[in-house]
Structure 1
Amino acid sequence: MSKPYPLGANLLSASSSKPQGCNFSIYAPDCANLQLVLFNGKTQRSFTIENKYAGIHHIFISDISAGQQYGFSSYIEGEDWLLLDPYAKAVSKAPYYQPPYSADKSWHMAKALVTDNTFDWQDVPPPDVPLAETILLETHTKGFSQLNPAITSAAPGSYQALADPANIKLLQEQGITSVQLLPVAVCMHEPHLLKQQGVNFWGYSTLAFMAPDPRYATIDAVAELKTAIRELHRNGIEVILDVVFNHTAEGGQDGPIFNLKALDKRYYLRNENGLRNYTGCGNSLDLTHQASLNLVMDSLRYWVSEYHIDGFRFDLAATLGRNGDRFNQQAPFFHAVAQDPILQPTKLIAEPWDIGPDGYQLSYFPDGWNECNDKFRDTVRSFWRGDHGYLKDFATRIMGSRHFFSGGRWPHKLPVNYIAYHDGFTLQDLVSYNDKHNCANGENNRDGHGDNRSYNCGIEGITDNVEIIAFREKQKRNLITTLLFSFGIPHLLAADTVSHTQGGNNNAYCQDNAISWLNWQMDELKQEFQDWLSKMIAARKQYMLPFIDAFTGDGRNNHRISWYCSNGEVMQQHDWEHQNCLGLHLGLNTDGDELLLLFNQIDTPVDFKLPDVPPIWHRVCDTSSMHLAPLNVNDHYQLAGRSMVVLQRSGVNDTVKGHQVAADAIVTKKAVSTRPIDSI
């Protein structure tokens, strides 16, 4: 006897009352007649599905085992199409076709596979890294290891290579807590790429939300991805998945029919002209429709339950909260996630925008959602490029963009700060190119973002000019040190750990080649930067984390904060308009540990008078030098041109709490006038 739930293909073990077999169930209210098709080599069997319940077609077939290929056939405008199960847990091969797509070609596409969820997790627990301690590393499964000669335990570019001892050693040495993988769900390449015999390398064109892409497997994508996750967990490293639920690979009104368009036209947002395109990809999923919401929620739960995924980064997440042309903070999707006990412990990171009306929603996602902070990226890039007028905004970004994300809502609303993301310049290219160079994408350099806020330091592209190379390295250190010593969750790009260049391509979505594959040939300069980065992440954990914890929640106003000019005077309102140098002084309680961050935006050195708070400061970092030689500093610091310095001193043991609160209140009140607006 078949059942409507759960949807998809679900194996049933034999018992005294039930035979062994598989229950197939698919939501298809727009299909009057639907057949299940089972494939065995070149032969196939078809079964008419007679059982229906609330738009769900379901059938039980005995003697089915894992690995069985299947699909659903339906007559659409007089032609017999084979449709892929939206709940497919695996596919038979990497999907590909030669445009245009047709009913005949649908029968030669990748088939869904029946899977067995049995896997030995060996009682390895999830790392469960606190938000404030999280260091994100964004990478592409294949691009991360394809050219790494140190990979020995697995095929380069594969799921299992992610957990190769060489990769795990690197991640641990770098201090990475969480790997954020670009989409690994089965991807179908856009028609214009297929015509060029190209691919969507990034994977932002989802065909099956629950099935891992076989492009990165040698035999069994399901088992190999689970194995990689287990071994990363065993070594204390979380796995965050980048997921695409805002649109599907079916494209616009004239796009191909893979499943959802035929099964239920209400899966997508529509208007009188057809499909709404708030994603730039031709369609937008309508999560106010119950079936769409179910598909997304079931997919998320499946990744957590069956793959032990630690969290998700949601591509163009504003679409998920849409009610037509408007974004709704109380959207059904947000409520569904918030009440789900499986999803509640996971990390949820939103890209808080799409390209539709009312599409920019930074800071408007509900509690429990962290958000990618593009304001941090743009402001910090502009500041270190030397642009004027960013001092106050720069200070606000360092303090966690609190006008967007109040410290009272930390850590669950800590912003995800970043300098570089997959969809833009790498860090190396950010300091090497003034303009994008995307001609390899085949669109005459029209694609990609034009507002990069980059600076080539004097020469466009690769150079052997020693002075320019040194300046670029210093700029990289300025950007990364600002990222690591700001309030928020740091997001790093894997390419930046090896100083990888994409040749100025800031939209390498279709480059499955050396443009996107990380170059692991480390010269002395690259190795020095990688070693420096490891030390700086360790310094963040040692010196910055206590301040993030202290400035979080109800006790955040019990601590000290002051802003200084280079002459040692507390900054006044007019100073924010014309100063090029800035000092941020942070202190715990009245006499606890202290940090002093010094910034010089111009090329001229500055003699910075330090605050009159003995004892002597200890130097943590000076970006003018690659080396972290210890140094004790007293009342002045010679701040090099275009550089940043981090100084630290340990405080005296805390005294009676009751006396501290009163004293801290006085200090806080006194310091308010010295802070840029909205930075508190």
Structure 2
Amino acid sequence: MIKRSNGDWSHLMVLFMPICFPSPYSLGAQLHASGCRFTLYAPDQDSVHLLLWHQGHQPQRIAMHEYKHGYWTKDVADVVAGQEYSFEVSHAGQTWCVADPYAQAVAGPLTYQPPYTPSQSTRVARCQVVGHESFDWQGVSSPQRPMQDTVIFETHVKGLTQQHPDVEPAQQGRYLGLVSPAMLAFYQKHHINCLQLLPITACLPEPHLLSQQKTNYWGYNPYVWMAPGPRYAEKNAVNELKTAIRELHRHDIEVILDVVFNHTAEGGEGGPVLHFKALDHAMYLHDGQQLRNHTGCGNTIDIRHPAALKQVLDTLRMWVTDYHVDGFRFDLAATLGRDGDTFDPHSAFFHAIAQDPILSKIKLIAEPWDIGPNGYQLGQFPANWAECNDKIRDTTRSVWRNDPGMLQDFATRLMGSRDFFSAAHWPDHLPINYITYHDGFTLQDVVSYAKRHNHANGENNHDGHGDNRSANYGVEGPTNNADIVEIRTRQKRNMLASILFSLGTPHILMADVLGHSQQGNNNAYCQDNPISWLHWQTQNHAWSNWLATMIARRNAIVPRFIDALSGTQRHCNQIAWRHPNGDQIQEDQWPSLQAFCCQITLGTHHPDAGQSMLIAINSSDTARNLRLPANHQWRSVCDTTTDETTVATPESFQRLAEKSFLVCIDGDWL
């Protein structure tokens, strides 16, 4: 029996206090007071060894224990953050090193010489132990901006600053370059309040790219979902990415990550063995013995599989809790709702997101399609999701190219594409309205090239989208012809104004702010070079200043109209459709229209009741007479015939120029 000392037992309590270890169901490398617990879910394996790598030495090889079927675990003393590790397993009669799917940092190098072999896997598969508790967020919190007040700017971490002359060389093309003084000043000047980053998680190039000494520049070939890519860091990807997000938040800028959960870099049957193929083959959809390919990348994640669902949800929560990201854009998101050949908006994945106390509060954006059966699902995602709206992209490009019979559909897109996105579910279920995305032409190329020019990709110009709805206005590519330059610039203003003043959340390609051209390449996924890197020295300041002003005016005007047209009050407003001369448009006249006016007036249930916005459009090559509605004090806030941004008082009767987009508001509330 242990005796008390001076009647006090407290000094002995430590003998009976258990050491707190992570649960064996907490996958990955979990640091604790005396070391690290490594846990791997590998139901396809009969034995697993942990490899601890030490510079210049052979790895320490440690047998893991199967705690429960499929869960392999091992506690190792004295392991600290930065320790490199991988797992050794058997697959198809060979011994492979595989990465930890739950690793939060990778050591790399993230390249190899095809074909991928077990000997190469000993280097590629190395991961690093991470501890998150030491980062100082300095009390900075997320802006938590409503979706209707958000303007999304899509950019590539490297391409944004790689050639910026005012960014320190050590930060060019890196996470910290995003928050360099030059970039922070640029965001402020252009009213940028949300960055959507192309995939930054660790990825591997496809074998065919490696064979050509190319890389997957865009990053849509994920390797380890939880690890930030080291190629954008100078020293420490984890801390440098967190620093970038903290400083963006400090400047009231949100961060959305483009994430890829539809496939992995393991590719098809002949692809490399990186993790899931050896650990849990049920992670992928199968057709008999073959992997199904609904992604165009060789494999498709089966989100119905409990381990796959857990991995995706755990990954999302990690990015929100450990990195404070504000939302996600899901690449080929239809895959996440797949039940085989069908799409189910009530799938377990969507329900799990909706009930999650963390994930239900962030921005969720779907690319609402994949290439599998029934893959196009625009408007079918749950009400708490926004969706990329390709309808407005295609229709807007066609309208300004003056394709016949498009103006009625354009009117629908302008009003928020309510045939796909019911205003009953606004502002949560808004369309993401865009003209350009990373995949496709930049805006400068939409008005400069009639066809794609992807020869640099090494696929004989057969890759990339063939339906670009673009025009060159007389010359294919660059020109010094002043008349062509003028019409191209006006068409750029028309298309951006169409996105900014339509109802929804605008999405703008950062390259378009500078007027960047990719030389007609509409699939520059493998172009890690000046084709993709932004050219800051050739920035068109007149263009970017006009765009910055229009963004500011959009932010002051459009959200109140989205708010008024959302939910139960959506029927309390007035929307009038007229010819430019003021006559009401008849239903049978829509198919032949080339010009119209739309006036939205807020109803009595809105705090700004009586305020109006008028949009006048002339897509033809002939000017029209415009009659503005009487009894309003109209002010012109956008006129695409010029890059002048002065707020003007238009005449009641005036000329609506050819190929022009005019926005007026009544009163002086701007």
Report the TM-score when normalising by structure 1: 0.93
Match in the other structure for 1:607? 625
CA contact (8 A) 1:153 1:164 kept: no
Match in the other structure for 1:33? 47
Match in the other structure for 1:256? 272
Q: Which structure 2 residues correspond to residues 325-336 of structure 1 after superposition, within 5 A?
A: 325-336=341-352
Query: How far off its partner does 1:93 sit?
Result: 3.0
Match in the other structure for 1:57? 72
* 1:626 corresponds to 2:643: yes
Match in the other structure for 1:647? 664
In the alignment, the residues of structure 2 paired with residue 533 and residue 168 of structure 1 have an alpha-carbon distance, to the nearest angstrom, of 17
In the alignment, the residues of structure 2 paired with residue 481 and residue 336 of structure 1 have an alpha-carbon distance, to the nearest angstrom, of 37
Match in the other structure for 1:11? 31
Counterpart code for 1:431: V
In the alignment, the residues of structure 2 paired with residue 298 and residue 229 of structure 1 have an alpha-carbon distance, to the nearest angstrom, of 20
Q: Which structure 2 residues correspond to residues 279-428 of structure 1 after superposition, within 5 A?
A: 279-428=295-444
**SS of the residue 1:585 aligns to:** strand
Query: How far off its partner does 1:211 sit?
Result: 0.2
Q: Where do 5+ consecutive residues of structure 2 fail to align? A: 1-20
Counterpart code for 1:543: I
Query: How far off its partner does 1:615 sit?
Result: 3.3
Query: How far off its partner does 1:60 sit?
Result: 0.3
- What do residues 504-553 of structure 1 show as CA deviations (whole Å, max 9, x unaligned)? 00000000000000010135xx1001000110011111222221111111
Deviation above 4 Å: which 4+ runs of structure 1? none
In the alignment, the residues of structure 1 paired with residue 213 and residue 30 of structure 2 have an alpha-carbon distance, to the nearest angstrom, of 35
In the alignment, the residues of structure 2 paired with residue 370 and residue 453 of structure 1 have an alpha-carbon distance, to the nearest angstrom, of 25
Query: How far off its partner does 1:258 sit?
Result: 0.4
In the alignment, the residues of structure 2 paired with residue 292 and residue 8 of structure 1 have an alpha-carbon distance, to the nearest angstrom, of 15
CA contact (8 A) 2:48 2:63 kept: yes
* 1:106 corresponds to 2:155: no
CA contact (8 A) 2:108 2:127 kept: no
CA contact (8 A) 1:159 1:228 kept: yes
In the alignment, the residues of structure 2 paired with residue 143 and residue 107 of structure 1 have an alpha-carbon distance, to the nearest angstrom, of 31
Match in the other structure for 2:96? 81
Counterpart code for 2:92: E
In the alignment, the residues of structure 2 paired with residue 331 and residue 540 of structure 1 have an alpha-carbon distance, to the nearest angstrom, of 36
Query: How far off its partner does 1:202 sit?
Result: 0.2
Match in the other structure for 1:662? none
- What do residues 455-474 of structure 1 show as CA deviations (whole Å, max 9, x unaligned)? 11111100000000000000
Match in the other structure for 1:68? 83
* 1:491 corresponds to 2:507: yes
In the alignment, the residues of structure 2 paired with residue 305 and residue 2 of structure 1 have an alpha-carbon distance, to the nearest angstrom, of 18
Query: How far off its partner does 1:51 sit?
Result: 3.4
Match in the other structure for 1:238? 254
**SS of the residue 1:82 aligns to:** strand
CA contact (8 A) 1:153 1:161 kept: no
- What do residues 647-678 of structure 1 show as CA deviations (whole Å, max 9, x unaligned)? 111299xxxxxxxxxxxxxxxxxxxxxxxxxx
**SS of the residue 2:53 aligns to:** strand
After superposing the two structures, state which structure 1 stretch, 308-317 or 76-85, moved more.
76-85
In the alignment, the residues of structure 1 paired with residue 635 and residue 122 of structure 2 have an alpha-carbon distance, to the nearest angstrom, of 68
Query: How far off its partner does 1:307 sit?
Result: 0.3
In the alignment, the residues of structure 1 paired with residue 410 and residue 23 of structure 2 have an alpha-carbon distance, to the nearest angstrom, of 58
Of the candidates 573, 581, 584, which is equivalent to residue 570 of structure 1?
584
In the alignment, the residues of structure 1 paired with residue 32 and residue 289 of structure 2 have an alpha-carbon distance, to the nearest angstrom, of 44
- What do residues 264-294 of structure 1 show as CA deviations (whole Å, max 9, x unaligned)? 1100000114100000000000010000111
Q: Which structure 2 residues correspond to residues 95-244 of structure 1 after superposition, within 5 A?
A: 95-118=110-133, 119-152=135-168, 154-244=170-260
Query: How far off its partner does 1:365 sit?
Result: 0.5
**SS of the residue 2:508 aligns to:** strand
- Count of aligned positions: 643
Q: Which structure 2 residues correspond to residues 523-672 of structure 1 after superposition, within 5 A?
A: 526-589=540-603, 592-611=610-629, 613-650=630-667
Report the TM-score when normalising by structure 2: 0.94
In the alignment, the residues of structure 1 paired with residue 60 and residue 613 of structure 2 have an alpha-carbon distance, to the nearest angstrom, of 71
Counterpart code for 1:339: Q
In the alignment, the residues of structure 2 paired with residue 476 and residue 254 of structure 1 have an alpha-carbon distance, to the nearest angstrom, of 44
CA contact (8 A) 1:618 1:631 kept: yes
**SS of the residue 1:423 aligns to:** coil
Match in the other structure for 1:473? 489
Query: How far off its partner does 1:54 sit?
Result: 3.0
CA contact (8 A) 1:275 1:284 kept: yes
Query: How far off its partner does 1:629 sit?
Result: 2.8
In the alignment, the residues of structure 2 paired with residue 632 and residue 278 of structure 1 have an alpha-carbon distance, to the nearest angstrom, of 54
**SS of the residue 1:249 aligns to:** coil
In the alignment, the residues of structure 1 paired with residue 22 and residue 388 of structure 2 have an alpha-carbon distance, to the nearest angstrom, of 44
In the alignment, the residues of structure 1 paired with residue 124 and residue 223 of structure 2 have an alpha-carbon distance, to the nearest angstrom, of 12
After superposing the two structures, state which structure 1 stretch, 507-516 or 327-336, moved more.
327-336
CA contact (8 A) 2:158 2:232 kept: yes
**SS of the residue 2:95 aligns to:** strand
- What do residues 180-233 of structure 1 show as CA deviations (whole Å, max 9, x unaligned)? 000000011000000011100000000000000000000000000000000000
Counterpart code for 2:603: N
